């Protein structure tokens, strides 16, 4: 692999899009992309399911009262490709930046929690679907498969990413390490909504601890990018006041070095685009101590492979053969 030793400016968007409104959310994402580029970023990362928002109701509403929210999410989920996706790609091209965008992706009858990657040339180059939705998230999203583990060679670094509790999947993280990841995007939702553990306290310790572990184990920079809960979300969810009610703000975003330490104090709560300059030459010092996919690996002891076979109900070619087009169908009824 080609190793880069330059310093790269990156950005993280700590924000919420208009809730369950795809068109308005795309316009907001375009604004953030241009703001990040104006600040000198070559890569801008958005939180988990920025478009059109994270389904916070799964932690607070019963199935009966969650159903209308899901229907609204389904209508406002993005298809890849689509005119809305093309608008993001065009913004990446105009701004000249790489974009990692968290979306609710609609494919057929299923939604996926997806990290979409756009190039400065204005192309959707890859998409990572969350391999396994976490707990109640399984009522909303389907699963990804082996195609969803990859790194993107941007020319200045190999960049990869995982979503939320995927960071507890050690083999997924190791796969990215073995692919030579140098910058890692760790995307999360705002973490001040309801959750199952009443003793969890500041839930942000999950994201920060897991980010630090990956930085150290993979010898990579980590962009921690979390969303925030807006006033609109609080009003729409209408959870009664009390310990289970989400509050405005939430989450932290920031940048960690290969030593697992914050490069600067992370940002909390308020909407912001934040920046960091990542000196990629520092990765060599971490690799010198322990290269997780090199001299500190033991492939003779541990066997690991990645199955990239698509997991589909039917092969796409079979699906297309089974669809009768009205324009080509015979008018003769047998």
pLDDT tens digit sequence for 19-37: 999 999 999 999 999 999 9
- Residue-wise pLDDT for 221-273, tens only, equals 999 999 999 999 999 999 988 877 888 998 899 999 999 999 999 999 999 99
Q: Which residues in 280-289 are b (16+ Cβ under 10 Å) and which e?
A: bebbeebbee
Phi, psi (rounded to 5 degrees) for 263: -75, -30
Total-model pTM: 0.92
- Token match 């960690």: residue? 256
| pLDDT (mean) for 105-109 | 96
| Residue ranges in the chain assigned as alpha helix (H) | 22-38, 63-76, 83-95, 170-178, 204-218, 231-237, 283-289, 316-322
Q: What is the pLDDT of residue 329?
A: 53
| Burial (Cβ within 10 Å: 0-12, 13-18, ≥19) of residue 235 | exposed
Query: Which of 85, 102, 69, 125 lies closest to 238 in space, CA to CA?
Result: 69
Residue 327 has what pLDDT? 65
Query: Residue 82: is it exposed, middle or buried by C-beta count within 10 angstroms (0-12/13-18/19+)?
Result: middle
Tokens of 254: 């920031």
Is residue 4 within 8 A of residue 43, CB to CB? The reply is: no
Q: Order of strands across the sheet with 183-188? A: 152-153, 158-163, 183-188, 221-226, 252-256, 267-268
Mean pLDDT of all residues in the chain? 92
SS3 332: coil
Burial class (CB in 10 A: 0-12, 13-18, 19+), 121: exposed
How far, in Å, CA of 37 to CA of 334, rounded? 62
174 or 192, which is more confident: 174
CA distances from 307 to 125, 164, 297 (A): 20, 22, 20
* Residues annotated catalytic, as ranges: 48
Domains delineated in the chain: 7-322 (3.60.110.10)
pLDDT at 200 over 80: no
* 301 phi and psi angles, rounded to 5 deg: -105, -45
pLDDT band at residue 9 using 50, 70 and 90 as cut-offs: very high
CB 143 within 8 A of CB 131: yes
pLDDT tens, 280-303?
A: 999 999 999 999 889 989 988 998
Residue 2 has a pLDDT of 56
């Amino acid at each position: 692999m080609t190793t880069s030793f330059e310093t790269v400016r990156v950005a993280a968007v700590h924000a919420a899009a208009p809730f369950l409104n795809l068109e308005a959310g795309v316009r907001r994402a375009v604004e953030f992309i241009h703001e990040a580029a104006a600040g000198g970023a070559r890569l801008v990362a958005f939180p988990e399911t920025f478009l059109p928002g994270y389904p916070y109701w799964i932690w607070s509403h019963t199935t009966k009262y969650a159903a209308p929210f899901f229907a609204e999410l389904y209508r406002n989920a993005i298809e890849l490709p689509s005119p809305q996706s093309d608008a993001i790609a065009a913004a990446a091209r105009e701004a000249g930046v790489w974009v990692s965008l968290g979306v609710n992706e609609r494919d057929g009858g299923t939604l996926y929690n997806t990290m979409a990657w756009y190039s400065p040339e204005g192309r959707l180059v890859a998409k990572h679907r969350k391999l396994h939705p976490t707990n109640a998230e399984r009522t909303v999203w389907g699963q990804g498969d082996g195609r969803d583990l990859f790194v993107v060679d941007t020319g200045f670094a190999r960049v990869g990413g995982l979503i939320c509790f995927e960071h507890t999947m050690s083999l997924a993280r190791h796969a990215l390490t073995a692919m030579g990841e140098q910058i890692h995007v760790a995307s999360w939702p705002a973490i001040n909504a309801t959750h199952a553990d009443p003793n969890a306290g500041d839930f942000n310790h999950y994201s920060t601890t897991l980010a630090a572990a990956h930085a150290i184990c993979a010898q990579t920079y980590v962009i921690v990018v979390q969303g925030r809960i807006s006033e609109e979300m609080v009003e729409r969810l209408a959870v009664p006041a009390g310990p289970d009610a989400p509050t405005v703000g939430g989450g932290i975003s920031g940048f960690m070095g290969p030593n697992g330490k914050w490069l600067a104090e992370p940002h909390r709560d308020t909407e912001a685009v934040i920046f960091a300059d990542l000196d990629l030459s520092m990765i060599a010092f971490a690799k010198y101590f322990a290269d997780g996919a090199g001299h500190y690996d033991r492939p003779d002891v541990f066997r690991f492979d990645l199955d990239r076979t698509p997991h589909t109900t039917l092969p796409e070619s079979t699906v297309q053969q089974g669809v009768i087009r009205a324009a080509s169908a015979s008018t003769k009824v047998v």
